[in-house]
Structure 1
């Protein structure tokens, strides 16, 4: 399924609705808060407005437990404004790639020059333990899809911006970095697949983020990515994988992640 309206025009329509509903003409930073990261919206600044996703063109209530289903406008201490997207659409929901990256494109249309993408993910690298946040240094997009349409050749060399990662490590010097792998989902990977991903350089695995990051770069934004390691990937631990485990680990990590993200956003 694809949106009938040109995606750039759809994003501009959504941005205009957000400006009208929030009373904020421009948002400087976009944030998509994945599993475990949602509480950060309460501490990074003063909430100006909260909008149900279905009131904004192109957005849908998230079909995944753990996502808020709202858009939030936040005034930061610097006086700038952040647009928090709690209504992430995942590739496996079957709405098409345009819907997956609509939030990112809307943030760009609303004026954001920086996109901060977060997620909950499995740890392939045994150096990454459950409950630990990890900076995304690069990614492997194994969805067999792209948000870029037509003959538009987008350079992804510095996709996860060195500048922003340096600022994040100023905020938290202990942050490790790793290569994120996006697979389509919604099933978890087999141990053989995790072995393959590790062989080709993957260190973190999940079902979001890479497509959004590509769309953000196409829109001219700088991208910063952070993963919460919610569990060892298949075959890396003893317990079966479950979404309940992801939610529980995210819930336990929420206060620490909120405090971390508050310090990171203050430097962006």
Structure 2
């Protein structure tokens, strides 16, 4: 990653917005409807921003959405980039660095994930306590961008503990049950085998997905505080003995979107 690329991409975005958002939100598969709640909306297409990849997955609109969620200035990524789309891992850090350059201090990362913990059920919202990076790659590999962060960033509190507790308190306040757990990243795009799911459970994973971890690493690199939320859209392979498909992911996300919107909106209000 080149600092000049980051500066050019960030300046392009700055030239098209009128606010300085403190809160960033990444919307996972089927969760993009939260952007409909944004007022005074300004759209910046990923395809127009220098050096950014383009989202290719159904359920990902492929744009930044700027405006107000409640009384707070926010920027949302309505759709994200994935390693399995053929992107370089370092490219997945660029939107996070853009957020940092335009003023973001807290980041809410959301995703659709498969339930590995057998006590979970489709439709649960999981607050991410920690993650396991089984992509066996890292967006910080290569020359360090010193202007964004140190060479060896600490990941011992990758998901900010104070914001984690704030989110738990919000869930209680508005009467939404949440579960907690560790997010396990695989590269995809194939779903995991039943044997792989057994391995993930043994290694400590509660939910599995194909995103989030590179963004969280980049956020910690540039000192953005992170909240992680997984929408458990299906039980992972071998648990219910049924085939997995992306249509189910989108359908379950749509069923819980009202709960998800209330939860994230209230978190933003409380930050």
- Using the size of structure 1 for normalisation, the TM-score is 0.92
Stretches of structure 2 lacking an aligned partner (at least 5 in a row): 145-150
Separation in 2, partners of 1:246, 1:76 = 25
Q: Helix, strand or coil for the counterpart of 1:229?
A: strand
CA displacement 1:78-128 (0-9 Å, x = unmatched): 3x4211112411000112012222211111111101111100000000121
One of 8, 11, 27 as aligned partner of 1:13: 8
Q: Which one of the candidate residues 245, 248, 251 is aligned to 1:245?
A: 248
Q: How does 1:18-29 map onto structure 2 within 5 Å?
A: 18-24=13-19, 26-29=20-23
2:74 counterpart (82, 88, 96): 82
Distance 1:107 1:249 in 2: 29
Deviations 1:149-204, CA, capped at 9 Å, x for gaps: 34711110011011111111111033211000011110000000000010010000
The residue number in structure 2 matching 1:33 is: 27
Q: Is the 8 A contact 1:190 1:235 kept in 2?
A: yes
Tell me how far apart the structure 1 counterparts of residues 156 and 195 of structure 2 sit (CA, whole Å).
29
Structure 2 counterpart SS, 1:228: strand
Q: Report the more deviating stretch, 251-260 or 241-250.
A: 251-260
CA contact (8 A) 2:53 2:87 kept: no
Specify the SS of the correspondent of 2:255. helix
Among 56, 62, 69, the residue aligned to 2:55: 62
| 146-155 or 12-21: bigger deviation | 146-155
Task: Quote how far apart the aligned CAs of 1:224 are.
Answer: 0.6
State which drifts further: 47-56 or 241-250.
Answer: 47-56
- Residue of structure 2 equivalent to 1:221: 224
**Residue 165 of structure 1 aligns with which residue?**
164
Deviates more, 1:257-266 or 1:208-217: 257-266
Question: Residue in 2 aligned with 1:49?
Answer: 42
Q: Which residue of 2 aligns with 1:117?
A: 109
Q: CA deviation at 1:14?
A: 1.9
> Aligned pair count?
260
Deviation at 1:74, TM superposition (A): 1.6
Q: For the aligned residues, what is the CA RMSD?
A: 1.5
Q: Tell me the distance in 2 between the aligned counterparts of 1:34 and 1:252.
A: 14
* Structure 1, unpaired ranges of 5+: none
Q: What is the CA distance between 1:41 and its match in structure 2?
A: 1.7
Q: TM-score, normalised by structure 2?
A: 0.91
- Write the distance in 1 (CA, Å) between the matches of 2:76 and 2:56: 18
